[in-house]
Amino acid sequence: MKHPSNTDTYDEAEIDEGLAAVYRVLGETYLRPPDEETVSAVEEVAASVREDGVGDAEDSFGVVEAVESVLNAEATLDELRPGFTRVFRGLSRSQSPPPPYESLYRDGSVNGPTSVKVERAYAEAGYELAEDETLVDHAGYELIFLAELCDRGDRGRQAEFIDDHLLAWLPDFHDAAAEKDVPAFYRGVFDLTEAVLRLHSEEIEEGNE
């Protein structure tokens, strides 16, 4: 990943390319039950962040700690598979947070007004989900959509979607999950996702000044 703050070293196209790869891996992690390939991809993303070097700006968003959380989790599939079901699919209110749908956290029910806004954002960008009849405002789909916007270099839509959608609710899901029994690997994923989103948002804002 090319760090958003390293604008003296990387141009916007390189930054967007790196972010697209990160968001795509993270999005799949929120959507799919874990396998060896998924875990390795997340660890590779975290390692690439560390190898690119982190500075004061990244530290202010907790990137360093998030990277270390992922890489030190010593995740095993025997632990992660039931953990994924418990955290992302839901077993019961006592064991699981509400599933990661934006409308559920912002409207109090799935397919609420917020999901319509998400669907409109996809349509206005000319983006269609590959899956049919899905709940479009799942965190995984939103992160993959953001990856698509990074692929296109559409910085205006990137900033708008991060601020109006992902950062407006995803931290609430992370907080709700933290109150349950979440494997350390997924805690690291949550921290990394949030840190990269905040860093990305700030970099775009600074570039517009």
- Reduced to 3 states (helix: H, G, I; strand: E, B; else coil), residue 101 is strand
Q: How many CA atoms lie within 13 A of 49 on its CB side?
A: 30
Return the pLDDT at 128.
87
Distance CA 28, CA 143 (A): 8
- pTM equals 0.91
Return the pLDDT at 58.
47
Return the pLDDT at 119.
94
Return the pLDDT at 145.
97
Please list the ranges in the chain whose pLDDT falls under 50.
5, 7-9, 56-58
Return the pLDDT at 14.
87
Return the pLDDT at 131.
67
Return the pLDDT at 133.
61
Distance CA 207, CA 209 (A): 6
CATH number of 12-207: 1.10.3480.10
Distance CA 68, CA 148 (A): 27
Over residues 147-168, the pLDDT tens digits come to: 999 999 999 999 999 999 999 9
Contact 126, 205 (CB under 8 A): no
Contact 4, 15 (CB under 8 A): yes
Return the pLDDT at 49.
78
Contact 119, 136 (CB under 8 A): yes
Over residues 90-120, the pLDDT tens digits come to: 878 888 999 999 999 999 999 999 999 999 9
